[in-house]
Amino acid sequence: MHIIKLNATNSTNEYLKQLIVSSNLDDFTVVVTENQLQGRGQMGTHWLSEPGKNLTFSVLKKGEGLEVADQFLLNMCVSLALYEALQQLNIPNLAVKWPNDILSANSKICGILIENILIGSKIQSSIIGIGLNVNQLSFNNLPNVSSLKLLKGETFNLDEVLNIIIQKLKKYVTKDFLENPDALRALYQEIMFRVNKPSTFKNNEGALFMGFIKGVSSSGKLIVLLEDNIFKEYNLKEIQLLY
């Protein structure tokens, strides 16, 4: 496995993307930095991380013939890998908040940003960006954010945590899983935050409503059971899970 360690870079996702274009990299090549200056988050947000404290890294997965319409399958593989890695580290009360935040005891400890390089409608390469709060102790009073150290009271070795995650990515981000969407969805559903529990959502007009998370559709939409036994599917831009 090839690990490229950088003292500082704007975004490991961006760095890996440039490398993919200019060189022939092995599958699961990793770019990790101690100091990510302009980390990117979901939906155009920023990912902030105190230098030297956390893991901010990107992993190359070469395409397995996946259509871009099926890209959520990859998110599920990555979520399962992270969940199992964190379980191995004895992090309590883990859950995956759809679409791809990893929570411990209702607080976010890890975010995932997957960016794809396409050829036509097929994914040629995926850049799996992961930000994991490891040893950072303060998050500027951001609500519901935590780190492994805050949860466990101990300092973690960043290289060791990274290695465990890479091993789990190699286990889950495979052709076998990607070609078995039903099995993948069943596994993902088991680890989903608030699955089958009464939950409150906000729609994109700001209205609150109640429902039960039932799982994800084949295209990665959230399946919610609403009043009157109606099932509805929502994409990321249409809904926010509040609690």
Residue ranges in contact with ligand BTN by CB under 6 A: 11-13, 36, 39-42, 45, 47, 56-58, 101, 111-113, 129-131
Least spacing, CB of residue 224 vs ligand BTN, in Å: 21
Q: How far is the CB of 42 from ligand BTN (least distance, A)?
A: 4
CB of residue 82 vs ligand BTN: minimum separation in angstroms? 12
**What tokens were used for 213?**
């998370």
State how far the Cα of 176 lies from the Cα of 228, in Å rounded to an integer.
38
| Joined tokens for residue 94 | 């883990």
To the nearest whole angstrom, how small is the minimum distance from the Cβ of residue 73 to ligand BTN?
Answer: 18
Judged by CB, which is closer to ligand BTN: 45, or 203? 45
SS3 107: strand
CB of 108 to ligand BTN, least distance (A): 7
The tokens for 46 are 């920023």
Residue 40 or 168: the one with the smaller Cβ distance to ligand BTN is 40
Nearer Cβ to ligand BTN (11/104): 11
- Cβ 86 vs Cβ 94: under 8 Å: yes
Q: Which is nearer to ligand BTN, 43 or 230 (CB)?
A: 43
Beta carbon nearer to ligand BTN, 47 or 193? 47
Helices (H) and strands (E) in the chain, counts: 6, 14
Residue 161: enclosing H or E segment and its boundaries?
A: helix 158-172
Q: Rounded to whole angstroms, how far apart are CA atoms 158 and 145? A: 19
> Token pair of 234, please?
């929502």
DSSP 108-119: EEEEEEEEEEEE
Nearer CB in complex with ligand BTN: 156/227: 156
Residue nearest ligand BTN (C-beta atom) = 111
Element (H, E) at 216: strand 208-216
We find the least distance from the C-beta atom of residue 138 to ligand BTN, in angstroms, to be 18
